[in-house]
Amino acid sequence: MTEFGGEQIVSSTPLGPGLILLNGKVFTAAPACRYAQAVAISGERISAVGTTNEIAAMADTHTRRIDLAGRVLIPGINDSRSFTALETNTSLAPAFAATRAPI
């Protein structure tokens, strides 16, 4: 509930993150702090990284909680190269026959 101009406004949307991952070893790749214990996710974005206590304090009644039980969590790895097109359509494959340098 928020007060605005003397009126109380009740929000129908949850204020906390939709998902929190707790009690893990979260790889951040940040030079100052390579690992954290927990992550908060709001929508499709990481909204906070910190200790289990810090992130747990952000949760509300709508927040889904997952206990990592000490497991390692790494960011999603996206290999955007597509080999399917090369395998299914040879016209898209590079033509090395015309090259003069040894491959």
CB 26 within 8 A of CB 35: yes
Return the pLDDT at 9: 47
d(CA 37, CA 56): 11
Give the pLDDT means over successive 10-residue stretches in the chain (103 positions).
44 74 93 92 91 95 96 81 59 60 55
Which spans in 14-98 are helix H? Answer: 52-56, 84-88
Check the CA dihedral 23-27-33-38 and report its sign.
Answer: negative
**Domain layout of the chain by residue ranges:** 2-92
Residue 56 has φ and ψ, to the nearest 5°, of: -60, -35
Return the pLDDT at 2: 38
Stated pTM of the model: 0.62
- Could you tell me which CATH number the domain at 2-92 has? 2.30.40.10
